[in-house]
A and B are shown apart, each in its own frame.
Chain A
Amino acid sequence: MLNAIGWFLIYFGAFFLFLGALGIMRFPDVFNRLQAGTKCTTLGALSTSIGVGLLHPAWLPKTFIIALFILLTNPISSHALGRASYRSGVKLWEKSVVDKCKEFKECVEEENE
């Protein structure tokens, strides 16, 4: 039973990792690609590592710690990437609806220098 759940989690995670890669190829600009990258890799890595833990119960506590650190650090890294690319002048996709970031001095500071 535990084996079955473990394999299910691994395939579930692999499927979403694949979708994340597909999203990175298909989406039009940096920020949309980051969206696909972050969400799919977080859940994908989380569920594969816990799946491995269920297949080898002795590793389960360690995989929980790994999952916790992924959950904490993955969003931060994507936030840093997004912020850095906005500040270094990466343009939004031409069909984007609104850009409130322009109103903040801090956001475009480095572009002017």
Chain B
Amino acid sequence: MGKLSRFIFTSLVLFILWLFLTSTFRSQEVLIGLIFSLAIALFTYNSFTERGLQNLNPRKVFCAFLYLPYLLWQMIKANFDVAYRVLHPKMPIKPGIVHVKTKMKSDLGKLVVANSITLTPGTLTLDVIDDNMLIHWINVKTDDVEKASEEIPGVFEKCLKEFLE
């Protein structure tokens, strides 16, 4: 991918971060922020992004915006699930480590799927080895690889494949 587009994308992200952190539009602050984000981007764009401005493709941005509320909703569900298991006198847990296959190819995709799995009800990613994920499940329903892959990362991958791959 073009170096220029990767550079522009990095400085754009840094500049928006600066605007959020200072939360003012005074011309001095904006100018200094612009200078610094350009300077930092010059050194870091190589490791920051692989695809540059392609990340801002409207369809991808739209998918990301759909994904965030979905993730928040899953997190709230996860918390009530934990609350139920903690407060129940008998502690209804049936823990175990299951093996799941992921369809994501890129490193970023795997990272986001693993993080999302950790935040969803009853699951915690322990290890990622190539396309195998080892997941601690607090209430094991099945130890079959395919069924578990359907159950745990299935929903996320459908949503994420759109904007990460």
| Contact A107 B20, beta carbon cutoff 8 Å | no
Q: Which residues of A contact B96 (CB under 8 A)?
A: 92, 96-99
A-to-B contact residues, CB < 8 Å: 16, 19-20, 22-23, 26-29, 31-32, 34-36, 38-40, 42-43, 46, 58, 60-62, 64-65, 72, 75-76, 78-79, 82-83, 86, 92-93, 95-101, 103-104, 106-107
| Contact B97 A99, beta carbon cutoff 8 Å | yes
| Contact A79 B124, beta carbon cutoff 8 Å | yes
| Contact B140 A82, beta carbon cutoff 8 Å | no
Tell me how many residue pairs across A and B have CB atoms closer than 8 Å: 133
Contact of B86 among A19, A46, A98 (CB under 8 A): A19
Min CB–CB distance B128 → chain A (angstroms): 8
Number of interface residues of B (CB under 8 A): 38
Min CB–CB distance A15 → chain B (angstroms): 9
B-to-A contact residues, CB < 8 Å: 17, 19-21, 23, 75-76, 78-79, 82-83, 85-87, 91, 93-99, 114-115, 118-119, 122, 124-127, 129, 132, 134, 136, 138, 140, 143
| Contact A35 B136, beta carbon cutoff 8 Å | yes
Bound CA span A95–B145, Å: 21
| Contact B20 A65, beta carbon cutoff 8 Å | yes
- Residue of A at shortest CB range from B130? A106
| Contact A31 B126, beta carbon cutoff 8 Å | yes
Q: Which residues of B contact A16 (CB under 8 A)?
A: 79, 83
